Amino acid sequence: MRRALSTTAAVVLTSSLLAAAPAVAGSSHVDTTRLTKAVTVNGQLKTLRQLQVVADRNGGNRASGLPGYDASADYVAAELEKAGYKVTRQTFTFPFSRDLEPATLTQTAPAARTIETAAFDYSGSGDVTGAVTPIAVAIPPGDAGSTTSGCSADDFPAAGSAPAVALVQRGTCDFGLKAANAEAAGYDAVIIFNEGQDGRQELLTGTLGAPAGIPVAGVSYADGKALAETAGATVRVTARTEVDLQRQTSNIIADLPGRTKNPDQVVVVGAHLDSVAEGPGINDNGTGTAGTLEIAKQLAKTGLAKKAQRPVRFAFWGAEEKGLLGAYHYVEALSDAQRAKIYANLNFDMIGSPNFARFVYDGDGSSDGNAGPAGSAEIEKVFTDYFGAKRLATAPTAFDGRSDYGPFIEVGIPAGGLFSGAEGVKTAEEAALFGGTAGEAYDSCYHQACDDITNLSTTSIDQLGDAAAHAVATLVLSKKGLYGDQARRTSAGAAKKLSAPTSTGHALTR
């Protein structure tokens, strides 16, 4: 998952438990129980414990560009090779950044106080004490995402010769643009505070997308509002970061050898393998990694792969936490012909949150009008039908491209997946549907050192892991496919040529 508030799910709850419903066209002819029974909690925990060992031996994290990620990739690759997969390491370079020390923010006048903060990814280093200048802030804010603070160079009065700190507000444009405009106007540091609507109030963190030359720190809406309304406020901002524009990492790509009836309809099943540098990343995204790896192993072990109607490719993405960079690299490196052969993408990014919910990517856009490419609605229905048959409630989560399925939907490839919740707070209605504790985060250790082997729900791993296995089996084994017309299609007719992706900032920066 991207950092807090870059991936906050937009949630619309079902009003009641879903009744059992007919499966998608063709999927009723697929018995997936053999795979769902083979994919066990114990099997997933085995991988999760190994990932914890890797983190323990490598500075407490498994972040791309650091030794813990390379050791994680070695482990996953070895497990896949033992299971009979042809494994490819797809290496790429990316702009790496991490905090060498926690950022600090202190109001020094008119009254001294310490303010909770965190440096943005790609923040510059520095120790700056200066006057605070609010930049076109909106208090109270309008609609979510409407605030234009810092999006135009004209928003910034010249900073002058004395040290100055720009105070800008989340909304409309990328964080990196706000920081770049401030730096160009002569400011020595930037504070970006949350926008203020429901779901946009807590401590703001995120990525600038590219290195900044000055410290850039985030704060909550309440703290930003207080600074904006304090006449004569001065602050001290410190950040000490490491940035390397040419750090190397890799994706692990695994294909199971063998022929299928529809070789030009590849199902890509993915999960990001990296953690943030702040912790071991056992829930985020060790759980997605463990579930995906166990499905791959059991698909081969049970012999079900021999009945595959279309190829399945398992992908473990690098540098997701830096902007979905591994998934973008994979999609952008494909030729038009290769891209046209991808039938669907399934994505599993956090499936074991301690205070979990059963969120399904909203492929049909029913919750917010933001539907995925054609076929995404059918994938969503694979999941909701499965949970409905189990008498388990689900809720849609925004299909906004903010996980590794994003590069796929940008080029028209249908996608779907599951999410158990991150830093968002569980509502009373959600607690009634899913259990757990209202008023607390789905994962209170999200992107922290405490996201370790104790930060899991085995119930969530069990339920969402089985649903993931069901979806993989359905897409790979179904003779009729997602649309029920497979028998009337030729292999060549199933592929569609798509244009190259046009992403500029890898999305998760506002």
Q: Which amino acid is at 364?
A: D
430 is catalytic: no
Please, is 131 exposed, middle or buried when counting C-beta atoms within 10 Å of its C-beta (0-12, 13-18, 19+)? middle
E-strand stretches of 54-162: 86-109, 113-114, 118-119, 126-134
Q: Which amino acid is at 467?
A: A
The alpha carbon of residue 20 and the mean position of all alpha carbons in its chain are separated, in whole angstroms, by 30
Distance between CA atoms of residues 443 and 420, nearest Å: 9
Q: How many Cβ atoms are within 10 Å of 33's Cβ, its own excluded? A: 12
Q: Are 366 and 401 in contact (CB under 8 A)?
A: no
Say which residues have a Cβ less than 8 Å from residue 488's Cβ, sequence separation at least 6. none
Please, is 426 exposed, middle or buried when counting C-beta atoms within 10 Å of its C-beta (0-12, 13-18, 19+)? buried
Residue 456 vs residues 292, 420, 448: alpha-carbon distances, Å:
16, 11, 14
Look at strands 189-193 and 113-114 and give their pairing: unpaired
> Which residues face 313 on adjacent strands?
255, 268
| In 411-457, alpha helices (H) | 428-434
Please, is 19 exposed, middle or buried when counting C-beta atoms within 10 Å of its C-beta (0-12, 13-18, 19+)? exposed
Selected catalytic residue, list 195, 294, 320, 380: 320
Looking up tokens 């063998």 gives 258
Q: Are 447 and 276 in contact (CB under 8 A)?
A: yes
Helix, strand, or coil (residue 189) = strand
Distance between CA atoms of residues 311 and 261, nearest Å: 9
Q: Are 179 and 214 in contact (CB under 8 A)?
A: yes
Distance between CA atoms of residues 234 and 252, nearest Å: 48
Tokens of 22: 């007919």
Tokens of 418: 């599951």
Q: Are 463 and 287 in contact (CB under 8 A)?
A: no
Catalytic residues, by residue number, are 320
